[in-house]
Chains A and B, each alone.
Chain A
Amino acid sequence: MTDTPAIRWACGTNQWKSGFTGFARIEQHERAMKVTSACGFDAIELTAGTGRWDPMGRPENIVLNFGSVAHFKLRLREWGIHQVSSCFLDPLQMSFEELHHGLDCTDPAQHAALLEQAAVFARFLAEVGAQVLVLRALPPHGRHGGLSAERQAAAAACWNAVGAMTASLGIRTALHLDALAPLRQADELAAWLDQLDPATVGLAMDTAELTMAGHDVVAWYRRFHARVNHIHLKDALAVDTLNEYQAPNAERALLLAGGQRGVPRWFGELGSGLVDWPGLMAALRDTRYAGWLVVESDKGPAPQAASMMQNAWTIRHELQPLLAG
């Protein structure tokens, strides 16, 4: 799928794997990539993982399962995928390979390890011909509460170092703000952005996460578009109106269990929820957005292919015409 030379479409891969040992076999990945290709996508965003059950989730695993990065690219091409756009890395997840239980960008003592882990993926992305390393921007609010000035400064210093490192490899750094992140107020975010180097560190805008967090995505994008260098597209079906993102176990209690209101599902197919797609497409056109639009189907029901196929229709018949004006 292409629109203008500046915009390219890719598909996320984070909808497939549930649990450590699920979606581990190569033939499952082959079918997933064929589904992706059949939907019209020729580019994918990888998701960083850990452990031996994630054959595309670690550079070492890719070499072990495919023989080399070059052979990995060849297999992807056989399946109809010609490009890896990016990779999403959540440093807060444990890593068997780096021997940690999660790295926190707001803690300076963990910066060296975080930089080294990011470098593992940045080097791989450069080798595979990708462009963007997408990183979870901040620990969830439940971990430290609203971030102190010291923690904000530490996080900014961390990402500036990561941004410089990836830039040296030709890879863009994009910070992904999710629905559980602190700095929910746009002014708070603007103040934090002042501490980030705009030349090397951008924002990955996730339409559903921001909507769930209470933002008007179109207004948010128009305010911060100069810093946005990567976009995740999915719809949001509900808003965290009770500020339950502040709970210490919000990853489970809010995201997976739906919080006090028992929301069965937060994210949905494009066009099925609360995001103003005509407004957003117009904003992308007006601002001449140049980058990837990564379509996601995570946290949806099985079968995963159904959501992807529906998204393909919506892109072709609704979003691309809107983008073209």
Chain B
Amino acid sequence: MSAIGKPLGGRHLRYAYMDHWRVDTAQGQVSQYSSIERFDAFLKQIAGVGYEAIETFDFHLGALRDLFGSLEAARAHMQSRGIDRVLSLFHAVMYDARQSTPHVRATHDRMAGYAEYIMKSSAGLGVQNFIVMPAGLYFDVEPVTDDKIRACAELWNRIGKMTLEGYGVKTCCHHEFFCGIRSAEQLRKFYEWTDPRYVFLCLDTAQHVIAGVDPVDLFVQLRERVAGFHLKDTHHVDTQGDYRRKPDAEVMAPTTARWFYEMGTEGGLVDFPALYGAMKDTGWQGWVGIEHDKADVGGGNYPESTAVAAWTIRHVLRPIHD
């Protein structure tokens, strides 16, 4: 009985669940933010396999307020279920050169204003990380020039300073394989041109593997900039240029119906033991996010993927680090 419901974390690492959850109901698949009962069941299920925080999208803030009356009340409810906080907010902006996209400097004022609005309106949840895609979709940015990468760096330096100094929140860049800053060289330039005090990396293992970047090497190179992880796996490297194919690479690529899988999937390409070895060697400590978006594609489901990832942490990765 002793392992039942115990937290996954140990002395150095604690675990958060990056939320893409959906619930199957008599009305089809719906968001768990549609009722207190569904949200409560979600909290209990992820806490039941040892996660201690959630990460979610900023467009869920309104629903949390509706459900609980305030974000403080929402966090109190989470804590009563063993979920300490909303560790990270993923900033969901559909980039568009007319008003909001990082490589277009004319849009920076608006983007900075919206980011600050999210900082103000998310108080009470215990947010520590503000996760952003640092550039637009690749086909909207290309050709990816140094000047465009510099423009992105300027924006996130500005926003990162605001979130950290104003709200104590770290701005973490999350490089989707289909975004404008994706290759090893683009990543090197971006982190060279951003301020290490204000701009951090949320290292998403699957996204980097799909983009042809070794996430373990990236961690070693940028370990002092890594403020968070999205640990998930993949079965595929994008060798066909899907990242630049319109209208969409993430779910509509003709070569690949599903890019993302949970840790522990058979045949996964991410070398998680090597990553944990590097984390141990460098003494990395903090919250680790576990993610598996689109887990239901092809007949999977979110609870099962979440539990399989938890098993992998407990039985494969914790013995390496923590």
What residues of chain A have their CB less than 8 Å away from a CB belonging to chain B?
15, 18-19, 21-22, 24-26, 51-53, 55, 61, 64-65, 96, 99, 248-249, 252-253, 256-258, 264-266, 299-302, 304
Contacts and interface: CB of A to CB of B under 8 A. Distances in A.
A265 B247 CA distance: 34
A234 to B, nearest CB: 13
Given A96-B94, A252-B63, A253-B35, A53 B28 contact: no
Contacts of B26: 264-265, 300-301
Contacts of A24: 248, 251-252
A248 B29 CA distance: 23
Nearest to B29: A18
A244 B37 CA distance: 18
Given A18-B22, A301-B25, A302-B28, A51 B94 contact: yes
Interface of B is mostly: loop
Interface in B6-63: 22, 24-31, 33-35, 37-38, 63
Given A21-B294, A65-B247, A96-B96, A53 B252 contact: yes
B120 interface: no
Contacts of B315: none
B79 interface: no
Q: Which of B31, B35, B63 has the most CB of A within 10 A?
A: B35
Interface string B95-125: 0101100000000000000000000000000
Contact of B257 (A25, A257, A266): A25
B65 to A, nearest CB: 9
Contacts of B63: 252
B280 to A, nearest CB: 35
B22 A52 contact: no
A19 B252 contact: no
B66 interface: yes
Q: Which of A52, A55, A65, A99 has the most CB of B within 10 A?
A: A52
23 contacts: A15-B28, A18-B22, A21-B250, A26-B252, A51-B94, A53-B252, A55-B247, A65-B247, A99-B96, A99-B99, A249-B66, A252-B66, A253-B35, A253-B66, A256-B31, A256-B34, A257-B34, A257-B38, A264-B27, A265-B26, A265-B27, A300-B28, A304-B28
Given A61-B247, A257-B38, A18 B30 contact: yes
Given A19-B22, A65-B247, A299 B28 contact: yes
